[in-house]
Amino acid sequence: MEKIEIFRKKIDKIDDKITDLLNTRAKIVIEIGILKKKLNMNMHQPQREKEILERLKKRSVILKGISFEAIWKEIINACRII
């Protein structure tokens, strides 16, 4: 049981880092949105999202396929609505 708690604490630290990184990503997305408005660019760019997904799928070692893509699509969608 003690070993499980050690692993859970490690997961908590990782989750905190992921949350911090998601917040950082969202801040950058906001900045990109501001620039796109100034440049009269289309906010939604499906080709860019596809590029992101394809690049990240190549990096994933353990999470694969539909699960990995679903996670990233949700992150992208969450950033799109801020």
Same domain, yes or no: 32 and 54: no
Same domain, yes or no: 12 and 22: yes
Same domain, yes or no: 15 and 38: yes
CA 17 to centroid of chain Cα atoms? 12
* pTM, rounded to two decimals: 0.87
Same domain, yes or no: 1 and 36: yes
Tens-digit pLDDT profile for residues 27-72 = 999 999 999 999 999 999 999 999 999 999 999 999 988 899 999 9
pLDDT given at position 1? 83
Domain count, the chain: 2
What is the residue range of 57's domain? 44-82
Same domain, yes or no: 48 and 15: no
Burial class for 33, CB neighbours closer than 10 Å (0-12, 13-18, 19+): middle
Same domain, yes or no: 36 and 51: no
Q: Mean pLDDT over residues 69-80, rounded?
A: 95
